[in-house]
Amino acid sequence: MPEAFGARLSAAVARYGPLCVGIDPHASLLAAWGLPDDVSGLERFAATTVEAMAGQVAVVKPQSAFFERHGAAGVAVLERTIRDARDAGLLVLLDVKRGDIGSTAQAYADAYLDAASPMQADAVTVSPYLGFGSLVPFLETAERNGGGVFVLALTSNPEGPEVQHARVGERSVAGVVLDHLRSRNGSTTPQGSYGAVVGATVGDLTEDVAINGPLLVPGLGAQGGTADDLRRLFGHVWDHVVPASSRGVLAAGPDVAALRAAAAATLDELR
């Protein structure tokens, strides 16, 4: 069996620090880098980010949508980006937020988590809102291949609470999702491979996020989240927190040295 994602993530964070840098080729960022909003610009953007982050951070998080919007050629760039980042020693968390049932869920899992796939990432993001049981193909495929799964739990978008804070008996929907993850991770050391996505700008935590698994915390930097917010919210589970920043780091590009300096400065704040 390949080494579990939770253990690999813990080792990478111990070596490089907890920061996850998004690879989010927004049209506005491409323009800011002086790149065209086409496949050539996309390819240059992604390759530069991988070069800058290799040996600098533990995790990169390509946002699939910004590649998919360029069609098949954009997806080909995403495939190369995943491969190049992993070859460079980075853990790749592919932000796809997939969620489906049965054979379709299994097909998504095979595409992104199976070792035979050319798009295999180290972990993916998924949505549990077809029921947590619908995620079993992702969880089982991840386990077989040493991968990880990050499940949306408490997101900071204003629309999120109408679903995530809805009640299931005495529990909120988000609480039920976190309970499932806690059960799946059990007492695995140093941590389980099944994580939750909890926004840095959720305000006050209303649920127990101690799931013995990683917590992907987007929103650091340009979206308004600060290192102080993270310490206040997640200080009791700090060893499991993986803060994510995209524009906060990427705005320093396209110069590789400047990107590395921006990542280093963010890591210093977190430490």
For the annotated catalytic residues, the residue numbers are 97
Q: Which runs of consecutive H residues, i.e. helices, occur in 98-251?
A: 102-113, 136-145, 161-164, 173-185, 227-234, 247-250
Residue 45 near residue 35 (C-beta atoms within 8 A) = yes
Element spanning 96, H or E: strand 91-98
How far apart CA 258 and CA 240 sit, in angstroms, is 28
Which candidate, 75, 71, 76, 73, places its Cα nearest to that of 96?
A: 75
CA distance to 21, 30, 112, 138, 148, per residue, from 124 (Å): 15, 24, 7, 9, 7
Assigned token pair, 45: 């953007």
- 173's tokens: 């929907």
Phi first, then psi, for residue 92 (nearest 5°) are -110, 115
Cα–Cα distance between 242 and 171 in angstroms, integer?
A: 26
Three-state DSSP at 148 gives strand
- Is residue 136 within 8 Å of residue 145, measured between CB atoms? no
C-beta of residue 242 within 8 angstroms of C-beta of residue 57: no
Three-class DSSP category at 244: strand
